Amino acid sequence: MNRKLSDLSGRNAIVTGGARGIGAAAALALAREGANVVVADLIDASETVRQVESLGQKAIAVETNVAVQQDVRHMVERAIETFDHIDILVNNAGVVHRDSLLETSEATWDRVVGVILKGTFLCIQAIYPHMRERKYGKIVNVSSISGIIGGAVSKLDDSPEKMRGRSGPAYAASKGGVITLTRWIAKDVAKDGIFVNSVAPGACETEMTKGFDYNVSMLPIPRMGTPEEMAAAIAFLASDASSYITGQVLNVDGGWVTA
């Protein structure tokens, strides 16, 4: 019997920022297709692990600060020690800020860029030798439409200030950097059988967007997206269904960004 292109049976994944939101949904989407999952996060990820195990797959939680190289190397070592090999890396860990240009402190810039952009780089750098040796790997980086359009505009539900909820400059710059990094690495590692792509979520119902109005009634698909919808795109790019796709950005945004 031919293997379904979406089938991830026998494959093992690392999902950063997997304790909640898009990361947790991605871990479960991969598990439903048969993958075992390493759930990496700075906060307690035991609930995601429990849900993955309830689907019949194996999972472990690894406390990880992706902005710290030693933490990232430990995460990869634990993953390989537990599951022998890693086929999929989902770089989802992130933080958001909504400060203005003048309000953005150096500390905020360093923290946001460190987690989102540096963290994505460190995780790819750490897993690359392992994937190269096996001649196979699927890397999916979670960016944002903020990295394409320069910050998604929203406002607090009870605020008349139109721009108050706009994602800040460090967030937009980091997410834009993730897209460029995706393209650079995709060109560098394709020869090793490694595929590198990105998803760019639009307005999505997570803890980060709770209480903010993104005016989604104006979108072609006039509603907020869900973590599960973002996760479905991630699972597609993590599977053999995307076997001739690399260096691409898939906007999962209800039509917010159009060509």
> Above 90 in pLDDT, residue 22?
yes
- How far apart CA 153 and CA 213 sit, in angstroms, is 9
Q: Which of 84, 37, 40, 82 is nearest to 63 (CA)?
A: 40
- How far apart CA 124 and CA 132 sit, in angstroms, is 11
Give the pLDDT confidence of 108-163 residue by residue, as tens digits.
999 999 999 999 999 999 999 999 999 999 999 999 999 999 987 666 655 554 44
Supply the pTM of this predicted model. 0.94
Mean pLDDT over each residue of the chain, to the nearest integer: 93
Count of C-beta atoms within a 10 Å radius of residue 21: 22
Name the catalytic one among 136, 171, 214, 244.
Answer: 171
> Above 90 in pLDDT, residue 36?
yes
171 is catalytic: yes
pLDDT category at 222 given cuts 50, 70, 90 is very high
User: What is the total residue count of the chain?
Assistant: 259
